[in-house]
């Protein structure tokens, strides 16, 4: 009975489940391996003791956090919208622009939420395949043709791309924004700190561009749920019209601002993870029968002989990684987040041990 009342386009969806299993090392969700610096935990405690209290609603506009972000990015505060994770902004942008039967175009494979939120809105997802045989090569001309032919309302470019790790050049991004001027182009830069390239500087020039950033990866705060968009003021205003009131908690606003102000420490952690990524890639290349796709993010996609079995075996040994064995395209792949040197060494030891047992 309930099912019959549900909108037809939603009946086939299944809830997103994040398995809560005990682990020794968690390398499955591209989180940061670092905990909050002690100085910030201390200031948080002070806030809980002496701040306005959680009985009071947060600042609906996340004013102080937006000011800090605007200064860093050299944009105006009214060009930034803060959400409970960039996930919320993905959903809000689709809700603003995509109606029944309207198209959303993105390369495939990519972050699954673009598709899910398009379906929720009653829109039509259009996937442009990346070439798996050529390290998931992105063909920009074909992509631009598809966007314009399909009259896409919204385009998503995940850059670097999750889960493949590849990157689209700024030159190609600018071409897409310019040549697809009837579409909203969303560049999701959830992992951009690890490739040191960003499309934010184009925002002043192109009114159809939105860049999404998150605190969940390089800024240690996946558990606090905080992300933001940078766009021209017109798009920001449209998002604000439908943004749920008080969407970002006062604790999250405070903690995100504090973490962001610790730029030196954050940049050191980013550089450390980029170095660890290089070391991991070097070690993985030496293991027989595995192939690694080039990565510009804090994770590596690895082609392996038996993705499902290897993932299960790693899980038994307390190591969580992302298993793609049920995916039609990535069925022979696993994805691992880059951890600390100690975590990566344990992973490498167990992983080579399991691979050797296949040979």
Q: Which stretch binds ligand PMP (CB under 6 A): 47-55, 68-76, 82-90, 137-145?
A: 82-90
Interaction pattern, residues 29-48, with ligand PMP; x per rule: CB under 6 A: -x------------------
Kindly give, in sequence order, each residue whose CB lies less than 8 Å from that of residue 198, ignoring residues fewer than 6 positions away. Answer: 189, 192, 211
Q: Does residue number 222 form part of the binding site for ligand PMP (CB under 6 A)?
A: yes
Residues 224-283 that bind ligand PMP (CB under 6 A): 227
**Three-state SS for 341?**
helix
309: phi then psi, degrees, rounded to nearest 5: -65, -45
Distance of alpha carbon 281 from alpha carbon 274, whole angstroms: 11
Minimum CB separation from ligand PMP for residue 358, in Å? 30
Q: Which stretch binds ligand PMP (CB under 6 A): 1-9, 83-91, 237-245, 280-288?
A: 83-91
Q: Does residue number 190 form part of the binding site for ligand PMP (CB under 6 A)?
A: yes
Minimum CB separation from ligand PMP for residue 214, in Å? 3
Minimum CB separation from ligand PMP for residue 38, in Å? 24
Q: Which stretch binds ligand PMP (CB under 6 A): 84-92, 143-151, 240-248, 329-337?
A: 84-92
Whether residue 153 contacts residue 103, with contact meaning beta carbons closer than 8 Å, is answered with yes
Candidate residues 32, 117, 162, 298; the one interacting with ligand PMP per rule CB under 6 A: 162
Count other C-beta atoms under 10 Å from residue 140's C-beta.
Answer: 15
Cis before 163 (ω within 30)? yes
301: phi then psi, degrees, rounded to nearest 5: -90, 130
Give the count of residues interacting with ligand PMP (CB under 6 A).
13
Q: Which stretch binds ligand PMP (CB under 6 A): 65-73, 79-87, 201-209, 313-321?
A: 79-87
Minimum CB separation from ligand PMP for residue 212, in Å? 7
> DSSP states of 196-257 as a string?
T--SGGGTTT-TTEEEEEESSSTTS-TTT--EEEEE-HHHHHHHHHHSPTT-S-HHHHHHHH
Q: Does residue number 86 form part of the binding site for ligand PMP (CB under 6 A)?
A: yes
Nearer to ligand PMP, 33 or 227 (CB): 227
Candidate residues 79, 188, 193, 238; the one interacting with ligand PMP per rule CB under 6 A: 188
Placement of tokens 């030891």 in the chain:
349
Minimum CB separation from ligand PMP for residue 83, in Å? 8
Distance of alpha carbon 99 from alpha carbon 121, whole angstroms: 6
Whether residue 198 contacts residue 146, with contact meaning beta carbons closer than 8 Å, is answered with no
Interaction site with ligand PMP (CB under 6 A): 30, 85-87, 111, 158, 162, 188, 190, 214, 216, 222, 227
């Amino acid at each position: 009975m309930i099912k019959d009342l549900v909108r037809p386009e939603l009946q086939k969806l299944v809830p997103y489940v994040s398995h809560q299993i005990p682990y020794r090392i968690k390398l499955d969700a591209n989180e940061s391996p670092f905990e909050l610096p002690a100085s910030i935990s201390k200031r948080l405690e002070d806030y809980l003791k002496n701040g306005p209290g959680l009985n009071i609603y947060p600042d609906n506009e996340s004013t102080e956090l937006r000011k800090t972000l605007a200064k860093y990015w050299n944009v105006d505060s009214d060009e930034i919208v803060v959400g409970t994770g960039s996930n919320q902004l993905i959903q809000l942008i689709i809700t603003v622009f995509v109606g029944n039967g309207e198209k959303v175009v993105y390369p495939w494979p990519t972050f699954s939420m673009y598709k899910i939120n398009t379906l929720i809105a009653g829109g039509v997802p259009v996937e442009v395949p990346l070439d798996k045989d050529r390290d998931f090569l992105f063909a920009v001309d074909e992509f631009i043709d598809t966007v314009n032919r399909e009259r896409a309302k919204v385009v998503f470019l995940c850059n670097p791309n999750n889960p493949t790790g590849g990157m689209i050049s700024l030159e190609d991004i600018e071409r897409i924004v310019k040549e697809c001027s009837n579409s909203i182009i969303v560049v999701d830069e959830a992992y951009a700190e690890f490739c040191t390239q960003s499309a934010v500087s184009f925002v002043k020039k192109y009114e159809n561009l939105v860049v999404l950033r998150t605190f969940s990866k390089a800024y240690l705060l996946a558990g606090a749920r905080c992300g933001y968009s940078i766009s021209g003021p017109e798009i920001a205003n449209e998002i604000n019209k439908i943004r749920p009131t008080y969407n970002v908690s006062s604790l999250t606003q405070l903690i995100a601002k504090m973490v962001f102000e610790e730029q030196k420490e954050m940049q050191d952690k980013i550089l450390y993870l980029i170095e660890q990524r290089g070391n991991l890639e070097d070690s993985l290349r030496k293991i027989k029968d595995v192939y690694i796709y080039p990565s510009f993010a804090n994770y590596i996609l690895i082609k392996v002989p038996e993705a499902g079995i290897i993932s299960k075996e790693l899980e038994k040994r307390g190591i969580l990684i992302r298993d793609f064995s049920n995916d039609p395209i990535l069925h022979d792949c696993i994805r691992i987040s880059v951890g600390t040197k100690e975590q990566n060494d344990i992973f490498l030891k167990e992983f080579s041990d399991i691979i050797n047992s296949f040979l």
